[in-house]
Structure 1
Amino acid sequence: KDYRETADSPEALAGDDAVKAAQEYLDKALKELGKDEVALTLLCDSSDPAKPVAEYIQACASKLKGLNIELLPQEKANRLAKMKDHDFDIVLTGWIPDFSDPTAFLGLMTEGNAYNYGSYVSEAYDAKLAEAADAATPEERWTLLQEAEEILLDDDAVSGIYQMGGAVLQNPKVTGIDHHVFGVSNLYKNADVAE
């Protein structure tokens, strides 16, 4: 089965319950910080689909008393430079895996990974991924990867916001195109057009 079908859903709350829970967490954080409000900058691309998604996140955050999210739209090269310099509060970025395995995403958040722009560090997370790499069976590996993901999500190190999709319109006379959901989306080396 697909990994996502066998792992717990990361979306435990929805709607009003999510807003209520977020407000409670924010109130607790503000109290610990001794502040009435916190302002954060959300670094994002200045083009679609990132900018409208960032605007949506900003609108959702505006429902919370004490949180102000300011958008910082940048051209992709500038956004990447800021990410590499760790010059952001929050960043909206994306990742397309180049192989079909949960570690194509989970491995990004290990300590020292060049793409771990938020500098997330968790010994328990790294240990769980190392344990999964040495698992005796595929089933044991899958379970360990799910446990690692739980650690990552519990720590709120990263949040999945949306998944891009696409549609393909293909002439029935064209055959042999390989469509992939990871890596290069279409391979044409075996393509053929019937007369």
Structure 2
Amino acid sequence: MKYNPTEARKLLTEGLSEIGQKQLKFTLLNVDTYDQKQLSEYLQSTIEKTLPQVKVTLNNIPGQTVLSRQADQNFQVTVANWFADFSDPVTFLNILTSKNPSNISKWSDRQYDSLMNKTNGVNGNHPDARWQDMIDAQNLALKEQAIVPLYQSGEKWLVNSNIKGIVYNTAGANYNYKEAYVK
């Protein structure tokens, strides 16, 4: 999906006309940490600047309350994140299956479920077919806008060149010093 504010304004105007409205208002639910407040404010500003017919109210509250409201479907729009628990794309892709309790959007698609069932089942021992199923599932979710990826977090570390053997993990514990040594 390409960023196209002109097309977005056109589609919004058409959609509002179809439902007999002149404006769209919604509340954005997010946690109240400093970085997430900044993200919320950025989203509000960008949306309202790009789409003047849209008004966004921010609701930044404690994390546990956000999780509870997400689980109860008590939100209009929310920001959520997920960190891999293991090094495999299914840790992200399985979330969007229809019956996954972490699928807070409640997006549901039979074709997506079928692709993920094959990924986790019959194609589990066929790496090329499994990989293609995951690519197809990801592309379908993005095309249907099941979610809107905003960013990928990362970290930078400054490590003395004499330190060797530190393992930086892509999932689970961030790093492992078990085999670390000074050269």
Q: Give the TM-score taking structure 2 as reference length.
A: 0.90
1:172 aligned residue (118, 138, 161): 161
Partner of 2:46: 60
Distance in 1 between residues matched to 2:75 and 2:167, nearest whole Å? 38
What are structure 1's unaligned runs of at least 5 residues?
1-11
Partner of 1:37: 23
Distance in 2 between residues matched to 1:108 and 1:131, nearest whole Å? 15
Trace 1:1-195 onto structure 2 (pairs within 5 A). Answer: 12-14=1-3, 18-62=4-48, 63-133=50-120, 134-135=122-123, 137-194=126-183
Distance in 1 between residues matched to 2:109 and 2:89, nearest whole Å? 18
1:29 is displaced (CA, Å) by 2.1
**Deviation digits for residues 98-119 of structure 1 (CA, Å, limit 9, x no counterpart):** 1222211110011121211111
Q: Equivalent residue of 1:182, what SS?
A: coil
Q: Equivalent residue of 2:34, what SS?
A: coil
Runs of 4+ in structure 1 deviating by more than 3 angstroms, as ranges, are none
Aligned partner letter, 2:17: K
Quote the RMSD (CA, aligned, Å). 1.6
Aligned partner letter, 1:87: N
1:130 is displaced (CA, Å) by 1.2
